[in-house]
Amino acid sequence: MKKSVTALVWAIVSTSGHSHDLTALPLGDGKISQSPKVGWIWACHIDPQAGGAQQVGPWINTAKGTYDLTAKAVVPGQVNWPSQFKLSIQNEQRVFSGNDLPSHATGTYPVPSNSDAYRYDRNPNSIKAQTMQVALPLWPTLAAQATCVPGAIGFLLSGSVLFNALDAPGRDAVAHETQDACQGHPQESGVYHYHSLSNCVADKREPNGHSALVGYLLDGFGIYGSYGEKGQALASKDLDECHGHTHTIPWEGKQVAMYHYHATPDFPYTAGCLRGSYKQSDVTTISGPRPQRNMQGPGGRPPEGAAGAPPNGPSGPAGPGGAPPDLNKAASALGISAQKLREALGPPPPDLRAAATKLGISVDALQSALNAAR
């Protein structure tokens, strides 16, 4: 099995601050919270029925709750792409336009059937050029309250999209999903994306030792590499619940005390929640077009590597006679307002299929949220 280059680099550079043992990184499975929590992820949506890696790889030690990043199967290949990526400033907004193709080479997708990676995750998707344009606030501000993270959360300076730490069914994507040597792979609509900082996006350092900018999240705040103010290697526990902190950084040619996110080698890798506000339409844009099948995850994020996954059909109508679900509770589990959920469900008896379509989520996801709220 190939050793990941990233892993070796991490092992060498993490000599100050926290040293991350890349052979025993904490497995993030189950660290999904319903509110901001350091080291966990507050995800808006997960879909336990969705697809993912078929097999738990031997690099994962479920009993110990760790995984060996250096032993993880890597999708082979060296494919170059006509990347288009432009950042410009228009009307006090940072406008990102591009085709999502990365500025670095990728592995071969679909995953070659003769590769080691194929044994664990037969990701059948191909990388496809997208049309993406989003306008983010140039000077983002903190929202009154943090919010849960959608599936697609921003982009790295390679020009490709950053997803949160979870795979479609809500496991630690970095541990479970096989990725190429740049830690990227395509989902169902061909959107090439990462779940952590790619080692093909250099973690450069400012003169003071702090990491340089590596991307932007959809609330407009920057995301930086894994080194803090004194150049120390950061871990999730050094950061706040959303995986960031505030101190002086260079921003638009000025030195300003400003909130920003950091990437770390440990779960949840990037944002655990979002501190600024973001537009759902931007999530939809960077998630790419909706796949043909009704498999799209609620956060505008289609499931990934879905070969062999059961189709997301309804698992039976909500049983009559049970206690009525608490719509506030169900809505908060889905990351939407109770009002929106009520509107989608319409007058009783609710048509779950129609409601799920209206909300852009699977029937299963809706049903399990309703069941859990009884």
In the complex, which residues of this chain contact Zn ion (CB under 5 A)? 304
Closer CB to Zn ion, 287 or 367, in the complex? 287
Closer CB to Zn ion, 302 or 350, in the complex? 302
Closer CB to Zn ion, 226 or 332, in the complex? 226
Closer CB to Zn ion, 31 or 332, in the complex? 31
Distance (Å) of CA 128 to CA 100, 200, 215: 8, 19, 21
Tell me which amino acid residue 4 is.
Answer: S
Partners of 262 in the β-ladder: 224
Are 111 and 118 in contact by the 8 Å Cβ rule? The answer is yes
What is the DSSP annotation of 282-340?
Answer: HHHHHH-SPPSSS---TTS---SS-TTPPP----SPPPTTSPPP-HHHHHHHHTS-HHH
Are 118 and 201 in contact by the 8 Å Cβ rule? The answer is no
Are 93 and 79 in contact by the 8 Å Cβ rule? The answer is no
Q: How far is the CB of 261 from Zn ion (least distance, A)?
A: 9
- Give residue number: closest CB to Zn ion: 304
Measured distance CA(42)–CA(48) in Å, rounded = 16
Are 235 and 227 in contact by the 8 Å Cβ rule? The answer is no
Q: How far is the CB of 346 from Zn ion (least distance, A)?
A: 34
Closer CB to Zn ion, 53 or 341, in the complex? 53
What H or E segment, with its residue span, contains residue 344?
helix 338-345
Rg (CA), the chain: 20
Q: How far is the CB of 169 from Zn ion (least distance, A)?
A: 12
Closer CB to Zn ion, 235 or 344, in the complex? 235
Closer CB to Zn ion, 31 or 243, in the complex? 243
Are 271 and 147 in contact by the 8 Å Cβ rule? The answer is no
Residue in 58, 67, 74, 59 with CA at minimum distance from that of residue 21: 67
